[in-house]
Amino acid sequence: MDAIVMLKDDHKTVEKLFKQFEKTDSEAHQDKQKIVAEVIEELTVHTYIEETIFYPAVRSDAPDTTDHVLESVEEHHVIVWMLSELKGLDPADERYDAKMTVLMENVRHHIKEEEQDWFPEVRQAMGRNRLRELGEQMATARSDAPRDPLAIPSASQ
């Protein structure tokens, strides 16, 4: 699987979880907490493989996308801090749903920019073989990726 296909699959997985959260009754705190835990894990692993493997390769092989990469890392910074806050927040807290809503808005914006604005440019610049090679590296790195959002490189930048 190539790197971009893998990242888009991750995006679909997260969007499904977002939709589940949105459909969950506001008082179903345990259900919401379970969904949020899955979102945190999915986004933490996804962000890690993007920042440690995909983005550095893109900056090297498709230098015209550097501004997109830098903006994405800044968006990650906001997202991982929100994930860490959600991780420690009681789902009965009145801010829980609001914080999750803002997270979803940020992630959806980030996904739209990646998929529409610069993945096509990256695909053209890097080619099928290089993207497959990156996809293999990213798949291997998944199992070793941190599960703590604050362990992501952009968290401390």
Asked if 14 contacts 50 with a C-beta cutoff of 8 angstroms, the reply is no
Query: Mind giving me the DSSP string for 36-63?
Result: HHHHHHHHHHHHHHIIIIIHHHHHHH-G
Residue 157 has pLDDT above 90, yes or no: no
**pTM, entire model:** 0.95
What is the pLDDT at residue 78? 95
* Residue matched to tokens 């997109």: 68
Residue 69 has pLDDT above 90, yes or no: yes
Query: Using one digit for the tens of pLDDT, what is the confidence trace for 96-128?
Result: 999 999 999 999 999 999 999 999 999 999 999
In terms of Cα–Cα distance, which of 17, 71, 23 is closest to 40?
17
Query: Using one digit for the tens of pLDDT, what is the confidence trace for 5-35?
Result: 999 999 999 999 999 999 999 899 999 999 9
The burial class, CB within 10 Å (0-12 / 13-18 / 19+), for 120 is: exposed
